[in-house]
Amino acid sequence: MARASLHDLLVEDLRDLYNAETQLVKALPRMAKAADARELRLAFEEHLAVTRLQVERLERLLVAFGEKPKGKKSVAMEGLIDRARAAIIRDAHPAVRDAALIGAGQRVEHHEMAGYEAARTYARLLGYDDAADELQDALDEEAEADVRLTELAQTVILIEAEEPEEDGRARKKKAGAAKR
């Protein structure tokens, strides 16, 4: 598609985001199922609900611009989801696999944030303030998901991944030694 105007670029980015989000709707249930930590599984499941709403929002925006919510496949998202698939099938301790899932999830969130930020900026420049506000809402949702994944990584997953013994004996020994 030739980008004749900033409006055309905005529509192209909205279509890319739409495709990326629809790919993610398919990937998140698998990521949730593969997560060992309950908190991580819940984070993926909750973000799935948000992602479905984002797909609907993008559909509304594209229709409001007189466009169909279709376009070429988001190759970037496809690659990021491939990374998540690799984390899912990783033969590792469950906490290490969870850490890999978090990393893959954060890469997805950062990609989405960059897309929403660019689209929001184009919408603002074009005077499409309502669309810009909706895109800002999506950007905020993605940032919130990223923060949650970071918190999980720091407080739950990575601590367990550092000591991947199945029974946690090494962790208990360290905790006992620290109390003395």
Residue 142 reports pLDDT greater than 70: yes
Q: What is the mean pLDDT of residues 100-123?
A: 96
Instruction: Supply the DSSP symbol for 93.
Output: -
Tens of pLDDT, residue by residue over 156-168, are 766 665 665 554 4
pLDDT tens digits, one per residue of 13-68:
999 999 999 999 999 999 999 999 999 999 999 999 999 999 999 999 999 999 99
């407080």: which residue's tokens?
Answer: 155
Local structure of 91: helix, strand or coil? coil
CB 109 within 8 A of CB 145: yes
For residues 102-118, give the mean pLDDT: 97
- CA 66 to CA 17: how far, in whole Å? 17
- At position 151, the amino acid (one-letter code) is E
* Tokens 């990223």 -> residue: 146
pLDDT one-digit tens code per residue, 77-99: 999 999 999 988 878 888 889 98
Q: Which domains does the chain have, with CATH numbers?
A: 6-179 (1.20.1260.10)
CA distance 84 to 75: 14
Give pLDDT, residue 114: 98
19 near 72, Cβ under 8 Å?
Answer: yes
